[in-house]
Amino acid sequence: GVEVAGVEVEAVTTLEPLPEYRSAAVGQFKFEYLDHTADVQLHAWGCDLAEAFEQCGLAMFNYMSPLEHVRLRETRTYRAEGHDLSSLLFAFLDELLFEFNTELFLAAAVHITRLDREAWVIEAEGRGERFDRSRHEVGTEIKAITYSAMSIAEREGDAEVFVIVDI
Amino acid sequence: GVEVAGVEVEAVTTLEPLPEYRSAAVGQFKFEYLDHTADVQLHAWGCDLAEAFEQCGLAMFNYMSPLEHVRLRETRTYRAEGHDLSSLLFAFLDELLFEFNTELFLAAAVHITRLDREAWVIEAEGRGERFDRSRHEVGTEIKAITYSAMSIAEREGDAEVFVIVDI
């Protein structure tokens, strides 16, 4: 209410503010687009689990910026812990992604130096360089690793993994 | 087996063909990207259900090609049938999408001439023109309408719909 001449009255016209979401509408139209969701499935393989994991890491980096332009100029080390194979793969990829998000470090070669299936620890080295807008192509941002439909298969002399990541 | 000098022998080296999915691998790497999935949520509103539906159709066209470049040169008619409000909205949008996919017709104005909630029929007119690569921007392809989290709300003098479409 508003006080007019000492008497509290209701304001004649009450224009309620637009709900927040409507303020993003497109031009004169009465519609808008809400956040889209998207994901892509990475599939990587190798002659053993370590190589499949390494290749999965490279798949991730290559999606963010084509690795053909990334030079092997410095080495970073990664360490990840889990409690089984799936959580170890998740933590490993998450660690690579974290290093990119905080340091912009793109690895064009990844080597797992320790894959411990009792302590569930991975230690790895990545060789590459920091993202440089002038030389590197911008690919698609990877927002998060997911456990969705994650699959890890190991056979004699062969291993492969499937990981869905949010983009 | 192969016949050599009249004796059937096993070929010494059997190179099995790569599984189909591996043949799409990126360069020297042992990984590939499997189809990504993506969707976007359309949110449209109006002073009644018909206007919210119309605006939802426009939201769809505008996502595929910005409507500011689309001229009102011809009129098409649409007809859709359902068995309740959700299926009617689905069928209506599906009909607009079908007309685009088969005839490349983009409507920049949509008018529902009949919204029959007993027979569950919509009849509508779209004004616009066929997609012309030289004048129209290419937006994002809409692959399918979905029922996922579809929501239709009607209030006195106000209506809104939410529809998730696959892109």
A159 touches chain B (CB under 8 A): no
Nearest residue in chain B measured CA to CA from A54:
B30
pLDDT of residue B85: 96
What does the angle CA A104 – CA A106 – CA A107 come to, to the nearest 5 degrees?
150
Name the β-bridge partners of A41: A164, B34
Q: Do B167 and A39 touch (CB under 8 A)?
A: no
A95 close to A86: Cβ distance less than 8 angstroms: no
The answer for residues whose C-beta is within 8 angstroms of residue B87's C-beta and 6 or more apart is B120
Instruction: Determine the average pLDDT of the residues in A42-53.
Output: 95
pLDDT tens-digit profile of B86-133? 999 999 999 999 999 999 999 999 999 999 999 999 999 999 999 999
* Whether A142 contacts chain B with CB within 8 A: no
Confidence of residue A6 (pLDDT cuts 50, 70, 90): very low
Cβ-Cβ pairs closer than 8 A, A with B, add up to: 99
Q: Is the Cβ–Cβ distance between A80 and A98 less than 8 Å?
A: no
CB contact A10 to B (< 8 Å): no
pLDDT band at A11 (very low <50, low <70, confident <90, very high): very low
Q: pLDDT-based confidence at B32, cuts 50/70/90?
A: confident
What residue in A sits closest to B38 (Cα-Cα)? A38
ipTM reported for the complex, 2 dp: 0.77
- Residue B32, both tokens: 């590939």
How much is the average pLDDT of A84-108? 97
Residue type at position B118: E
Length of chain B as a residue count? 167
Choose from B31, B62, B140 for mutation: most chain A CBs within 10 A. B31
Q: Hey, is the C-beta of A69 within 8 angstroms of any chain B C-beta?
A: no
Query: How much of chain B exceeds pLDDT 70, in percent?
Result: 84
CB under 8 Å, gap of 24 or more: what pairs does B26-30 form? B26/A59, B26/A62, B27/A68, B29/A55, B29/A58, B29/A59, B29/A62, B29/A67, B30/A44, B30/A45, B30/A46, B30/A51, B30/A52, B30/A55
